[in-house]
Structure 1
Amino acid sequence: MERNNNYNNRDRDKDRDSKKGGMSFHRRKICRFCADSTLPIDYKDHKMLRLFTTERGKIVPRRISGNCAKHQRMITIEINRARYIALLPYTTATVR
Structure 2
Amino acid sequence: MRKERGRRPKKKVCGFCVDKIDHVDFKEATRLRRYITERGKILPRRISGNCAKHQRQLTVAIKRSRIMALLPFTIE
TM-score of the pair, normalised by structure 1 = 0.69
* Residue from 14, 19, 29 that aligns with 1:31: 14
Q: Which residue does 1:10 correspond to in 2?
A: none
Q: Identity of aligned pairs, percent?
A: 51
Higher Cα Rg, which structure: 1
Q: Which residue does 1:66 correspond to in 2?
A: 49
| 2:75 paired with 1:78 | no
- Higher helix proportion (structure 1 or 2): 1
Q: For residue 50 of structure 2, what is the amino acid of its counterpart?
A: N
Aligned-pair CA distance for 1:28: 0.5
TM-score of the pair, normalised by structure 2 = 0.86
Cα displacement string for residues 13-70 of structure 1 (whole angstroms, at most 9, x for unaligned residues): xxxxxxx858321110011111221475211111000000000000001111100000
Q: Which has the higher contact order (CA 8 A, sep 6+)?
A: 2
Residues in 2 aligned to 1:50 and 1:87: alpha-carbon distance in whole angstroms: 10
Structure 1 gap ranges (5+): 1-19
Provide the alpha-carbon RMSD of the alignment.
2.0
C-alpha distance 55-74 of structure 1, shift in aligned 2 (>3 A): same
Deviating beyond 6 angstroms after TM superposition, the runs of 4 or more aligned structure 1 residues are: none
